[in-house]
Amino acid sequence: MKHLTPILALILCVAFVGSVNAATVTGTITFDGTEEYTKVPERKLLDIKTTEQHCLTTAKGAKSEELVVSKGKGIQNVVVYVRVSGHKATPLEKNPVLDQKDCRYLPHVIAVPTGTTVHLTSDDPVAHNVNAHATKNEAKNILISKKGIKFDYTLTKAEAIKLTCDVHSWMSGYIVAVDSNFYTVTGQKDEKGKFIHPDDYEKSADTGKYTIKDVAAGRARVVVWHEKLGTANK
């Protein structure tokens, strides 16, 4: 896995503000070029190979989501989490949902604490499957034949798991299980909590700022992960 140090302002800009019992972590993640990319790479059109009208219509003109950079140099779908010494991650009480909608994974990247059970489902009127390419957790390949069917997937180990769909080869996403309850995914939701489409994020002026609240007291390390650019920590 590559290291993000040259391209993430996070390494230069992390702030801890808080009391003895809890803190707020703020920072900025921006794209500043790499040895491979001297400028923001153009997102490639996905090869939509299907005879299903629903996917042909909803996925028409869809572009890759593996690296989406805003006009303000923010990067969408970077997982940022804080590892606190002595803190053990606890599962989320409310099960997060990973959907398949308009023939794409929504969200493209989902982060959860270890031990959490994710509901895998589909909002599309066509069959999908979730092929989870896990190595530390259970590898799954689940057929979701009808809209609204849900399957449980419990993540017991910290791991970034790539998801594909064997029915629709262009579809991909990630579940990132982390040993922490203090995390966020950059550029993913707007102020109203709605998911931001990658095309809209790319046009936005987002500057890559993030905030993680209520971080437990203790010796801490900030870790970032991105599917294309790799990992870094401070």
Q: What is the dihedral of CA 32, 80, 196, 44, to 10 degrees?
A: 50
- For domain 9-233, the question of CATH label 2.60.40.420 is answered with yes
**83 CB neighbour count, 10 Å cutoff:** 19
Which sequence spans correspond to the domains of the chain?
9-233
Compute the mean pLDDT over every residue in the chain, rounded to the nearest whole number: 91
pLDDT score at 7:
44
Measuring CA to CA, how many Å separate 83 from each of 3, 8, 107, 212, 226?
18, 18, 23, 12, 17
pLDDT score at 217:
86
Give the mean pLDDT of 111-128: 98
Model-level pTM? Answer: 0.91
75 vs 12 pLDDT, higher one: 75
pLDDT score at 39:
81
Q: Does residue 171 register a pLDDT over 80?
A: yes
Coil, strand or helix: which one is 109? strand
Q: Does residue 160 register a pLDDT over 90?
A: yes
pLDDT score at 5:
44
Give per-residue pLDDT as tens, 7-59: 444 443 555 565 567 889 999 999 987 666 678 889 999 999 999 999 999 99
Give the mean pLDDT of 157-173: 98
Give the mean pLDDT of 84-100: 96
Give the mean pLDDT of 192-214: 96
Q: Does residue 4 register a pLDDT over 60?
A: no
pLDDT score at 120:
98
Q: Does residue 150 register a pLDDT over 80?
A: yes
First CA to last CA distance, the chain: 17
Q: Using a pLDDT cut of 90, give the percent of the chain over it.
A: 81
CB crowding 191-220: b at 16 or more within 10 Å, else e: eeeeebebeebbebebebbbebeebbeeeb
Q: Both tokens of residue 135?
A: 């190595």
pLDDT score at 175:
99
Q: Does residue 2 register a pLDDT over 50?
A: no
Cα–Cα dist 137/130, whole Å? 15
